[in-house]
Amino acid sequence: MNPYSILIVCTDNLCRSPTAEEVLRRKAIEQGLGDRLLVASAATHDFNAGEPVDFHAQKHAMRRGYDLSSLTAKLLQPEDFERFDLILAMEESNLLTLRLSCPPRFAHKLHYFTQYCSEPVSQDVPDPFYGQPNDFEQVLDVIEDGCEGVIRAVARAAEGESR
């Protein structure tokens, strides 16, 4: 059985999407889904490809036990629309960019990340890049909650397939 694959996308792939990538990966391992879930992240814009994740994002994530140090910014590739089962956008502008470049047969894969959050939040995960330290903590709260929702959805889907 091929692993279920999820791509998380933001503008630069420096803060939000790589943080969500690592949080989701860790939560999948903790729930025993590590071998059944492939997680990656990418940028909609080629501003920082190849650069490490933002230092502040790394620092705040590390305080919660998430190591982002091995991640680097990657640009969304055309083949990603076929390769991934679910593509989650961190904000409206990312989803619009994805919709403009996505072949119609894969449009059903595109969703907001926040639709998996248990608490009502804005449809956008705020970009903490130019913000204050507390902004990174708030984004981590949203990401942890959303990743829990993604894990629940993947577990339900896997359970349905095994019947």
What one-character-per-residue DSSP string does 104-154 give?
GGGGGGEEEGGGG-SS---SSPP--TTS-HHHHHHHHHHHHHHHHHHHHHH
Annotation marks residue 152 as catalytic: no
Helix axes 16-30, 133-161, angle to 10 degrees: 50
**Is the separation of the CB atoms in 49 and 77 below 8 Å?**
no
CB environment 113-132: b (16+ within 10 A), e (fewer): bbebbeeebeebbbbbbeee
Catalytic residue among 36, 83, 127, 145: 127
163 catalytically annotated: no
Indicate if 63 belongs to the active site: no
Catalytically annotated residue among 16, 25, 124, 147: 16
The residues that are catalytic are: 10, 16, 127
